[in-house]
Structure 1
Amino acid sequence: MLIIKTVDELKDVLFRVKSSGKIVGFVPTMGALHAGHLSLLEKAKSENNVLVCSIFVNPIQFNNKQDLEKYPRNVEKDINYIEDLVDILFLPSEEEVFPSAPTEKFDFGKLESVLEGKYRPGHFNGVATIVKRLFDWIKPEKAYFGEKDYQQLVIIRELVRQFNLPVQIVACPTVREPGGLAISSRNARLSPEEYKIAPCIYQILLSLPPKTTLSVSELKQYAISEIEKIKEFKLEYLEIVNAKTLQPITNFDDAEKVICCVALYLGEVRLIDNIFLKK
């Protein structure tokens, strides 16, 4: 695995790679790598000649300074975790990525004003800023994103559409722990007691699809009531939305694909998850 720390070297190496006709796949990460990242990397490895992974904790996508400070960082562990799988690891400093204060302003319309965007203003502008820069530097044929961060996936696709970027966005299923908890770097911050409770989020989501005799509003209220039964959960939002537009729906016939998205706090840790109700 080649470790690169500067944009100039990255561009130079990838120019030679592409000149030889090789196809480049890309997985952007913020480190604290886990089985979810591994599944993205394995899929990317199987579909491309050269696999590029980036590790960069992007400060401009954090709304909460404490969240940024608490974000786990262990680069050596991450390197050991992926060195047999990844061909090129891009490991830039903050100064390399942002030599001056970023000024990019993106407009994703209603896609960014709901769900995560409603509670984390500016978050997706920060995500789009770093992803656009990485795409411009790496110019991958394919880039891989997990469905756990579903709104992010939709917004990255919109970013690609708006700028007509020559990259295919590949969605990868959420990877879960045996109990059903969506794997996340944040899970490490859960106490042992909280860790036992956390899988209930997915169990509640799993209970939704068979209840299609209920209306959308009834199904939403059912899900909220089930979450509120667990006193340790502090619900931030639960929405049933059009999977393409992310806008709330009134009837299941209103959208070709329907997804239920949830965010809640368990102690100090904010957890998100989702499930397709119609796909």
Structure 2
Amino acid sequence: MNIYKEINNLYEFIREQKKKGRSAGLVPTMGALHEGHLTLIKRCRAENDICIVSIFVNPAQFGPNEDYTRYPRPLERDQNLLCGLADVLFLPEAGSFYLPEHCTWVNSDKNADILCGAYRPGHFQGVLTIVLKLFNVTMPDRAYFGKKDYQQYFLINSMCRDLNLPVSVIPCDLIRDSDGLAMSSRNIYLDPDQRKRALALSSALGHAQKLVRQGEINAGKILAAVENMLLEKNLKIDYTEIRNKLTLEACTKIDINSILLSAVYVDHIRLIDNIELAGMEKT
């Protein structure tokens, strides 16, 4: 595994590989890797000649009162996990991506201010900007994103479409732990009691899917049932919403494209999850 920290050095390496006709896949991460990340990386490796993984805790996507300084950074562990899986590990410094005079950002006029965007102002501006930067440096043919962060995947895919970027954005299934909790680097924050309470999130989503399978199509009734289950475990709800997965427009009735998305706090720890209500996923 080759490790690059300098943008120009990686850029030159990728250019040389492209001249040889080799395809490149990218898995952008913020580190603290778990099995969800490894699933993306294994798929990337299988579908491309070169598998590139980036680890960069992006300051631009964190708000002033969020966990940027506390975000887990077990770099040595991550590097060990990547050996034998990734061909290239990109470890840029914040100063190389955001120069003092940096003043150009990527914004979406649609769907960036709903769901997580309504509660994390500027978050998706930071996400889209760093992803575009990573695409420019690594020149991937394909980039892999987990569907746990569904809104993020949706906006990145829209950015590639709207800006005519020659990158195929590949959505990969949400991965859960054996107890049903969606895998997240932030799960490390949970103590045993908090983790037990956090399971109410995946349980509530699974209950919503069960209601749909039993014939319920009224979105309002499904959301009320989900919110009651979350509040019973003293979880603070940022949002629970049912949207069309193809447009992110709000749904009042359930159809084949309906997806339930939720963000909650277990004490001070924010978790997100989602489920396709007419899909086959089980929590």
TM-score interval, smaller chain: over 0.9
Asked whether the equivalents of residues 59 and 68 of structure 1 are also in contact (C-alpha less than 8 Å), the reply is: yes
1:243 to 239, 242, 245: 245
Q: What one-letter code is carried by the residue in structure 2 that aligns with 1:143?
A: A
Which residue is equivalent to 1:30? Answer: 30
Which residue is equivalent to 1:104? Answer: 104
Range with bigger deviation, 202-211 or 52-61 = 202-211
Unaligned runs of 5+ in 2: none
Which residue is equivalent to 1:87? Answer: 87
Aligned pairs for 1:172-211 (under 5 A) are 172-211=172-211
Which residue is equivalent to 2:171? Answer: 171
TM-score, normalised by the number of residues in structure 2: 0.94
Which residue is equivalent to 2:151? Answer: 151
Over 3 Å counting, the alpha-carbon distance change for 1:101 and 1:122 in structure 2 is: farther
TM-score, normalised by the number of residues in structure 1: 0.95
Q: Cα offset for 1:247? A: 2.1
Asked whether the equivalents of residues 6 and 92 of structure 1 are also in contact (C-alpha less than 8 Å), the reply is: yes
Asked whether the equivalents of residues 31 and 73 of structure 2 are also in contact (C-alpha less than 8 Å), the reply is: yes
Aligned pairs for 1:36-51 (under 5 A) are 36-51=36-51
Q: What one-letter code is carried by the residue in structure 1 that aligns with 2:56?
A: F
Which residue is equivalent to 1:229? Answer: 232
Asked whether the equivalents of residues 114 and 247 of structure 1 are also in contact (C-alpha less than 8 Å), the reply is: no
CA distance in 2, matches of 1:228, 1:46: 42
Asked whether the equivalents of residues 261 and 275 of structure 1 are also in contact (C-alpha less than 8 Å), the reply is: yes
CA distance in 1, matches of 2:128, 2:191: 32
CA distance in 2, matches of 1:175, 1:167: 24
Once the two structures are superposed, residues 44-67 of structure 1 have per-residue CA deviations (whole angstroms, 9 ceiling, x without a partner) of 011011101111110010014441
Which residue is equivalent to 1:132? Answer: 132
The number of equivalent residue pairs is 276
Unaligned runs of 5+ in 1: none
CA distance in 1, matches of 2:159, 2:228: 36
Q: What one-letter code is carried by the residue in structure 2 that aligns with 1:26?
A: L
CA distance in 2, matches of 1:9, 1:65: 35
Q: Percent identity?
A: 39
Q: Cα offset for 1:241? A: 0.6
Q: Cα offset for 1:175? A: 1.0
Q: What one-letter code is carried by the residue in structure 2 that aligns with 1:48?
A: N
Q: What one-letter code is carried by the residue in structure 1 that aligns with 2:74?
A: N
Q: Cα offset for 1:69? A: 1.0
Asked whether the equivalents of residues 236 and 263 of structure 1 are also in contact (C-alpha less than 8 Å), the reply is: yes
Residue 244 of structure 1 aligns to a residue in which SS? coil
- CA RMSD, aligned part only? 1.3
Q: Cα offset for 1:278? A: 2.9
Residue 262 of structure 1 aligns to a residue in which SS? strand
CA distance in 2, matches of 1:99, 1:8: 15
Over 3 Å counting, the alpha-carbon distance change for 1:104 and 1:258 in structure 2 is: farther
Asked whether the equivalents of residues 242 and 251 of structure 2 are also in contact (C-alpha less than 8 Å), the reply is: yes
Over 3 Å counting, the alpha-carbon distance change for 1:101 and 1:81 in structure 2 is: farther
CA distance in 1, matches of 2:92, 2:221: 48
Aligned pairs for 1:58-97 (under 5 A) are 58-97=58-97
CA distance in 2, matches of 1:227, 1:146: 24
Q: Cα offset for 1:75? A: 1.2
Asked whether the equivalents of residues 143 and 168 of structure 1 are also in contact (C-alpha less than 8 Å), the reply is: yes
Structure 1 stretches (4+) deviating beyond 3 angstroms? none
Q: What one-letter code is carried by the residue in structure 2 that aligns with 1:247?
A: E
